[in-house]
């Protein structure tokens, strides 16, 4: 377990063997099947979260990375008390989330990139006023935090505009302000940069980094984007098929899940056929530009030989791109799961 040295009081989130299963029915195509479905339905169990154990310390910025349907959002919904688990336990700031105690709900915020929490037809200022009442924020403190957040994101001119007239990026900035007005100790972010352009993504990264550092907020972020993770998080939890595949730092993913580096060469002349392959696996040969995959343990031996045998204009040695590593992890986990399912037979219940 990552950060296992932290004391119990430092742990803001503690999750043990948490699982969530859904029973869904398969709806076959066709009219006759639909009529039959009125009387008899074949149900199966979806394992959205499978016995997850996790501990998050105070002030950590943790990213949950996973493909669609991995169980990231379900996990956040469990931690924020929206749904109840099938089994297992969780404590967030000492509270069982699905008890939905007001003391607990006052201390966290949830932002969902694909769902709007502000009043659609009204200016965001009206939603902020409602937040002030719901979270019982003192007027002076409210004004102070409100102004600070609005200045940081530069959205003062948007406050009086109906939310439905705002762009996605503008709306997300206002959603974040609404979520932070009551100074939550824990912030759950569910794909906050989904669909945003590069500039808006960058602004939100900067803002979140600043707020998290300044207020020591514990943040759990779910995302598909490596950019979010690289920009914000020290700790990454890779989730696939409802299970944790990896829990550690971003750098360690590279060490743990790759065995080679990528060497890119700009040669004076295109290499002769078969000449370059003896140094490693040629993943790309385009004229004088060559990319090779070379085993990490051999790199110190291979590079001097490569430079001696070729006229090299430029060279770079890099790790395999993170996206590629993570995509490989996802694919591996998916095929393992498929094999397991085949072995266990159809899980129709």
Interface residues with other proteins (CB under 8 A)? 22, 73, 77, 80-84, 100, 102-106, 108-110, 112, 114-115, 117, 119, 121-122, 126, 129-130, 133-136, 162, 190-191
We find the least distance from the C-beta atom of residue 127 to other proteins, in angstroms, to be 8
We find the least distance from the C-beta atom of residue 176 to other proteins, in angstroms, to be 14
Which residue number, 118 or 325, has a Cβ lying nearer to other proteins? 118
Quick one: CA dihedral 157, 161, 163, 168, positive or negative? negative
We find the least distance from the C-beta atom of residue 134 to other proteins, in angstroms, to be 6
We find the least distance from the C-beta atom of residue 72 to other proteins, in angstroms, to be 9
According to DSSP, the residues that pair with 186 across neighbouring strands are 108, 218
Which residue number, 56 or 110, has a Cβ lying nearer to other proteins? 110
Which residue number, 48 or 292, has a Cβ lying nearer to other proteins? 48
Q: With CA atoms as reference, report the closest residue to 52 among 24, 67, 74.
A: 74
Which residue number, 57 or 81, has a Cβ lying nearer to other proteins? 81
For 65, residues 6+ apart whose C-beta sits below 8 A from its C-beta are 72, 222, 223, 224, 226, 229, 236, 237, 238, 239, 326
- How far apart are alpha carbons 249 and 105 in whole angstroms? 29
Which residue number, 184 or 280, has a Cβ lying nearer to other proteins? 184
Which residue number, 107 or 261, has a Cβ lying nearer to other proteins? 107
Q: What is the 3-state secondary structure (H, E, C) of 162-227?
A: EHHHCCHHHHHHHHHHHHHCCCCCEEEEECCCCCCCHHHHHHHHHHHHHHHHHHCCEEEEEECCHH
We find the least distance from the C-beta atom of residue 98 to other proteins, in angstroms, to be 8
According to DSSP, the residues that pair with 25 across neighbouring strands are 43
According to DSSP, the residues that pair with 87 across neighbouring strands are 19
We find the least distance from the C-beta atom of residue 73 to other proteins, in angstroms, to be 4
């Amino acid at each position: 377990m990552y950060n296992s040295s932290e004391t119990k009081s430092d742990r803001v989130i503690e999750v043990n063997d948490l699982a969530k299963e859904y029973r869904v029915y398969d709806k076959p195509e066709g009219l006759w099947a639909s009529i039959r479905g009125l009387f008899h339905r074949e149900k199966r169990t979806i394992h959205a979260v499978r016995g997850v154990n996790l501990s998050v310390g105070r002030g950590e910025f943790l990213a949950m990375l996973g493909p669609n349907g991995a169980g990231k959002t379900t996990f956040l919904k469990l931690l924020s008390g929206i749904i109840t688990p099938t089994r297992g336990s969780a404590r967030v700031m000492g509270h069982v989330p699905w008890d939905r105690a007001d003391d607990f709900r006052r201390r966290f915020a949830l932002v969902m990139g694909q769902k709007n929490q502000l009043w659609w037809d009204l200016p965001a200022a009206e939603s902020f006023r409602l937040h002030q009442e719901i979270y019982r924020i003192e007027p002076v403190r409210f004004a102070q935090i409100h102004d600070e957040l609005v200045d940081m994101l530069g959205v003062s001119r948007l406050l009086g505009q109906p939310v439905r007239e705002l762009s996605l990026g503008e709306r997300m900035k206002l959603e974040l302000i609404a979520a932070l007005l009551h100074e939550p100790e824990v912030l759950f972010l569910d794909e906050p940069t989904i669909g945003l352009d590069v500039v808006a993504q960058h602004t939100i990264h900067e803002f979140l980094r600043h707020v998290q550092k300044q207020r020591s907020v514990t943040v759990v972020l779910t995302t598909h984007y490596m950019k979010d993770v690289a920009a914000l998080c020290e700790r990454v939890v890779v989730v696939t098929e409802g299970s944790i595949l990896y829990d550690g730092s971003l750098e360690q993913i590279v060490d743990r899940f790759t065995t080679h580096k990528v060497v890119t060469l700009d040669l004076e002349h295109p290499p002769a056929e078969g000449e370059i392959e003896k140094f490693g696996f040629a993943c790309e040969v385009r004229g004088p530009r060559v990319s090779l995959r070379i085993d990490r343990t051999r790199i110190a031996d291979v590079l001097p030989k490569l430079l001696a045998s070729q006229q090299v204009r430029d060279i770079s040695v890099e790790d395999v791109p993170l996206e590629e590593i993570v995509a490989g992890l996802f694919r591996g986990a998916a095929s393992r799961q498929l094999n397991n399912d085949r072995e266990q037979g159809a899980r129709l219940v």
